[in-house]
Structure 1
Amino acid sequence: MHPHRTDDQDEEQHTAAHRTGYFMKECQTPDVKSNSTDSPQSTKYSTTEENIHTNLTAGCRSGKCNNGWEAHGGQCYFFSNKNLSWTLSEEECVHKKSHLAIINDEKEQKLLMGISAPKMQFPEDKFWIGLNDRQTEGEWLWVDNTPLTNKGFWLENEPDNWKGVNNQYPDGEDCVRMGVKNFIANSAAAGWVDTACERKYKFICETEACL
């Protein structure tokens, strides 16, 4: 219970006190180029087993991302410089033919933590990722509806579904943000905190890098 927290300042104190999957995408053919300067190659989402097999052999490779995106391990990542709610952040990613980041393993966690850390101007300058329990409390799902299996990246005592000072967040904390400003390179430091989906943070979009 947090009787004295007030919005960002209290959230920062709250998280500081605790410190001591993805969408199946079909790449464009190699001769198709995007005119966008801030979005990756076009992406299609599919959940059928047949399409999953097809997409895994679609020829995506690392290093082919549009301007403003970063290529790592066959994926393109976009780190926003504006703050939006979780829902609007996901809509923005979809508009860019992508989705909020889905973190599949420790390697990807380290990668995104390492990239996001220098982009944070202050401790609460964090990033939304594509994880939430809006459908059923305590059942954490990624934006492609796959369940969370690796639960080792939460900050201590998180998630806690805090409802805010004077019940300012009656629906609790159903969306997840990440980031640690003083992140130690190559560590697997936990960086996930559940928070109210209507709050505004930066966000990370993800899609596959294609030829």
Structure 2
Amino acid sequence: MNSVAFILPVLVAIAAANDINTICPSELMKKIDPYYLQIKNGSCFHFVLYKKKAYSDANDECRDDGGTLALAKTKELNDYLSDKVLNFYLKRDEVWIGLHDKRRENTFVWEDGEKMEWNNFDKGNGPGNNLAARAVEDCVALDVKNSKWHDFQCVRSPMSWISRSEPRKKYICQYTPSTQGTQEPSGEDQQGKDTDGTPDSQDGGDKDEDKKPQDQDEDDKGTQEPSGDDQPDDDKCPPFICDKDCKMDGYKMTDEGCLLCECNSKN
């Protein structure tokens, strides 16, 4: 029983490490401590809890490795991120997530371009913010103490002191591997099959593969160098030595095409 209790956590840790190595960007793995990486729903999350940046700078850093600020679109994921910051990393800071209304006031969109559907703003924040604050507070952070969203200024400005807003925060990056290239081929793409899965008229792709060496042999035959029998015999004519100057008349030739030291007659 004790051995099982010891081995199970080890196996879980090994599996988690394999997931991190597979899902998280390789360039990111070279730069940071894997301690700050977590896997959830097939995505890699980098909990940047050791430095603070303005919203755009934080998002740019996420994009450098192919991600964005975390897309906490569901309660499940939002609570997971909040719990990790608070109970695993033991931090109580607000963290940037990838939500803002910078382009159009009060229309919140995620960094992947999707509009906000699930609303998790705390009272007096987001669409419920007062008009003065709403005009300058366009970027969203997750308050891990209650798992709610608050909007803040995206960058520092003179209003930061007045509103007591701190636009530099810790943040969470999200990296979701592309599924392109790993999907099962559609019926049209399956080699040797029609869309209904039955073999096509060409009897599959294997015979096409078998044809290739034959086709290559035929092509090779057309590109081979001529054999010695086919090459013209340049040595069948003796060296042409002549002391006559036939000028424009030219020299006579034998039936074999060899030059004679005789001038062509004009007559």
Q: TM-score range by the shorter chain?
A: 0.5 to 0.7
Match of 2:143 among 179, 185, 206: 179
CA distance in 1, matches of 2:142, 2:69: 12
For 2:105 and 2:35, locate their aligned partners in 1 and report how far apart those are by CA, in whole Å. Answer: 38
User: For each residue in 1:129-172, what CA deviation from the matched residue of structure 2 results, as whole angstroms up to 9, or x when unmatched?
Assistant: 00000001000000111100011x111222216756xxxxx951
- Could you tell me which of 114, 123, 128 is aligned with 1:146? 114
* One-letter code aligned to 2:26: S
Aligned residue runs from structure 1 range 113-124, under 5 A: 113-118=82-87, 119=89, 121-122=91-92
Matches of residues 1-211 of structure 1 in structure 2 within 5 Å? 34-37=26-29, 68-80=36-48, 81-118=50-87, 119=89, 121-122=91-92, 125-151=93-119, 153-159=120-126, 160=129, 163=132, 171-181=135-145, 183=146, 190-198=147-155, 199-208=167-176
Structure 1 position 121, deviation (Å) = 4.1
Percent of aligned pairs sharing the same letter: 23
- Give the counterpart letter for 1:176 in structure 2: V
Structure 1 runs of 4+ with >4 Å offset = 161-164
Q: Which has the higher contact order (CA 8 A, sep 6+)?
A: 1
Question: In the alignment, is the contact (CA less than 8 A) between 2:68 and 2:173 conserved in 1?
Answer: yes
Structure-1 separation of matches of 2:70 and 2:31:
14
| TM-score, with structure 2 as normaliser | 0.47
Q: Is the 8 A contact 2:85 2:91 kept in 1?
A: no
Q: Tell me how far apart the structure 1 counterparts of residues 51 and 131 of structure 2 sit (CA, whole Å).
A: 25
Residues in 1 aligned to 2:106 and 2:90: alpha-carbon distance in whole angstroms: 28
Contact preservation (8 Å) 1:78, 1:204: yes
> How many pairs align?
140
Give CA deviations for 1:100-134 in whole Å, capped at 9, x if unaligned: 11122111111111112234645xx2100000000
Higher Rg of the two aligned structures: 2
1:21-78 CA distance string (max 9 Å, x none):
xxxxxxxxx8xx82542579xxxxxxxxxxxxxxxxxxxxxxxxx6641111211101
Residues in 2 aligned to 1:38 and 1:69: alpha-carbon distance in whole angstroms:
12
User: Which structure shows the higher helix fraction?
Assistant: 2
Partner SS state of residue 111, structure 1:
helix
Q: Which amino acid aligns with 1:94?
A: R
Residue 75 of structure 1 aligns with an amino acid whose one-letter code is S
Uncovered stretches (5+) of structure 2, i.e. residues with no partner: 1-21, 156-166, 183-267
Give the equivalent residue in structure 2 for 1:48.
Answer: none
Whichever residue aligns with residue 171 of structure 2, its letter is F
Alpha-carbon distance in 1 for matches of 2:101, 2:117: 13
- Deviation for aligned residue 1:209: 5.4
Q: Which runs of 5+ in 1 are unaligned?
A: 1-29, 41-65, 165-169, 184-189
Larger displacement relative to structure 2 (129-138 or 107-116): 107-116
CA contact (8 A) 2:95 2:169 kept: yes
CA distance 1:36–1:173, change in 2 (3 Å): closer
